[in-house]
């Protein structure tokens, strides 16, 4: 029988080291957070479009299928009228991209 003192110490969950794809996703997440405050900021929307194109291209080169499809959906949402619902979709999409990237980096996918 094991006692609590016999168990190995718990490891804290760690974030994978950011590569170019991870940095683009984190930058996109930050930009969508900014859109909550200024939903019709043209410069931020242009930057998001550039980031989504980069993420789509790099993830496709890595052989990923879901990430490029998700980027296409987010690009379509980005072209719609600036509303809180649109910003929410963009934030959820970048959260999903981050989870997919993180899972791939950890070897789960």
Instruction: Give the list of residues 6+ apart from residue 59 with CB closer than 8 angstroms, or none.
Output: 21, 67, 68, 71, 101
- Expressed in percent and rounded to 5, the helix, strand and coil fractions of the chain are 70, 0, 30
CA 9 to chain centre: 31
Phi and psi of 16, rounded to 5°? -65, 155
Predicted confidence at residue 21, as pLDDT, reads 92
Predicted confidence at residue 45, as pLDDT, reads 94
Cα angle 56-18-75, degrees, rounded to a multiple of 5: 25
Above 80 in pLDDT, residue 2? no
Residue 9 half-sphere exposure toward CB, CA atoms < 13 A:
3
Instruction: Give the list of residues 6+ apart from residue 105 with CB closer than 8 angstroms, or none.
Output: 16, 17, 19, 22
Q: Which CATH topology does 19-106 take?
A: 1.20.120
Above 70 in pLDDT, residue 52? yes
Predicted confidence at residue 17, as pLDDT, reads 76
For residue 108, give the DSSP letter.
-
Average pLDDT over residues 97-109: 84
Predicted confidence at residue 60, as pLDDT, reads 95
Domain ranges of the chain: 19-106
**For all residues of the chain together, what is the average pLDDT?**
87
Phi and psi of 51, rounded to 5°? -65, -40
Of 105 and 28, more confident = 28
Share of the chain above pLDDT 70, in %: 83
Q: pLDDT tens for residues 10-47?
A: 666 666 678 899 999 999 999 999 998 988 899 999 99
Predicted confidence at residue 36, as pLDDT, reads 86
């Amino acid at each position: 029988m094991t006692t609590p003192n016999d168990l190995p110490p718990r490891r804290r969950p760690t974030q994978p080291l950011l590569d170019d794809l991870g940095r683009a996703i984190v930058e996109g997440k930050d930009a969508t957070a900014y859109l909550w405050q200024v939903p019709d900021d043209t410069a931020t929307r242009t930057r998001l479009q550039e980031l989504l194109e980069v993420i789509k291209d790099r993830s496709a080169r890595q052989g990923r299928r879901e990430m490029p499809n998700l980027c296409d959906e987010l690009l379509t949402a980005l072209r719609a009228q600036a509303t809180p619902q649109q910003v929410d979709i963009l934030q959820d999409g970048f959260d999903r991209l981050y989870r997919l990237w993180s899972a791939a980096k950890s070897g789960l996918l």
